[in-house]
Amino acid sequence: MYTANDSRYDTMLFRRCGKSGLKLPAISLGLWQNFGAANSLANAEEMCRTAFDLGITHFDLANNYGFPYNGSAEENFGRILDNGLRQYRDELIISTKAGYDMWPGPYGAKHGSRKYLIASLDQSLRRMKLDYVDIFYHHVADPDAPAEEIAVALDQIVHSGKALYVGISNYNRAQTAEIQAIFRELKTPFIVNQPSYSILNRWTEEDGLDKYCAENGLGFAVFSPLSQGLLTSRYLHGVPADSRIGKGTAWAPVLTEELVGRLNALNTIAERRSQTLSQMAVAWLLHHDVVATVLTGASRPAQIIENVKALEHLDFTAEELAEIEKLSKG
């Protein structure tokens, strides 16, 4: 039986999520890739245990995570909980989402109807064998569903005891402001927006979402902090055949000669800081107060250990920030 590391909270940094009372670990574990039925359950379990032993209390899922079929990541996480992690449930922040295509027919397609959101969370709870999740997100804005319907559904979910807090993901500034106004009327514990954000992906700044959330009490739970692997040592010398770009998989970024040059320049800054490029990328995100937690993925436990070491050096000089700013935009 698994027993957690007694010193798991000694070095992890916890940050308040917006103006809520909830604190999240500065680094969380996202189960988007490598936790589905096609992956090794033993490896997935070792990654979750390694994360918790390092003080990572937040595990982020979604109804459609897992390959080769939707929901398999939640199923595997339920098995991992059963095999020793469930005894620590009150120390865990477990989040899941709904919004993308999930099951056949008009009620399981990509949208934000009350029918879909409530049914999806019920399915997620059964897969993970949980009574509730800590955070439930609407995964993507739906222009065909009224914001009021989405907000009322999420509010009902909280009042039913199936989630403690609610959030949104892939919402821009205007969409966030619209739904937050409704949540305020309902007094729903809406605390977090989950956007993509990285040194190379600055859309939240251009949109003004970061400033809006900082001013309106919402935290960022940032996904794709390494720009789908670009902000690692993996692509400093071109495209490895076994990489996402090399395999031509979905979500793979386009790698140009100019971008490789910028990645190497960023890596030089990281080396001067005695960090890997990925550690500096995580530290850079945490330099922004609006970021409550950085959602990192992993394919093996060693990557989680490396990511957590980013917390050893979070300070940046003005010169470093200026260099990174210049290189982030080409």
Could you tell me if residue 285 is inside a domain? yes
Say what the pLDDT of residue 264 is. 96
Q: Rounded CA gap, 233 and 213, in Å? A: 32
pTM for the model: 0.95
Residue 221 sits in a domain whose CATH number is 3.20.20.100
Say what the pLDDT of residue 70 is. 96
In the chain, the N- to C-terminal Cα span, in Å, equals 50
Say what the pLDDT of residue 255 is. 80
Of all residues in the chain, the percent with pLDDT exceeding 70 is: 95
Quote the domain boundaries for residue 140: 14-229+278-304
Whether the predicted pLDDT of 246 surpasses 60: no
Could you tell me if residue 46 is inside a domain? yes
- Which of 47-61, 143-157, 166-180, 238-252 bottoms out in mean pLDDT, i.e. has the lowest? 238-252
User: pLDDT of 292-314, one tens digit each?
Assistant: 999 999 999 999 999 999 999 99
Could you tell me if residue 44 is inside a domain? yes
Say what the pLDDT of residue 45 is. 98
Say what the pLDDT of residue 188 is. 98
Could you tell me if residue 84 is inside a domain? yes
Say what the pLDDT of residue 243 is. 59
User: pLDDT of 77-119, one tens digit each?
Assistant: 999 999 999 999 999 999 999 999 999 999 999 989 999 999 9
* Residue 291 near residue 225, CB atoms below 8 Å: no
Kindly give the residue spans of alpha helices, DSSP state H, lying in the chain.
Answer: 41-53, 72-80, 114-128, 147-159, 173-186, 203-207, 209-215, 244-247, 257-272, 277-286, 301-308, 318-328
The mean per-residue pLDDT over the stretch 130-159 comes to 98
Could you tell me if residue 272 is inside a domain? no
Could you tell me if residue 287 is inside a domain? yes
Average pLDDT of the chain, as a whole number = 95
Could you tell me if residue 283 is inside a domain? yes
* Residue 93 near residue 59, CB atoms below 8 Å: yes
Could you tell me if residue 329 is inside a domain? no
Say what the pLDDT of residue 191 is. 98
Tokens of 271: 């080396």
The mean per-residue pLDDT over the stretch 217-235 comes to 94
Q: How many domains does the chain have?
A: 1
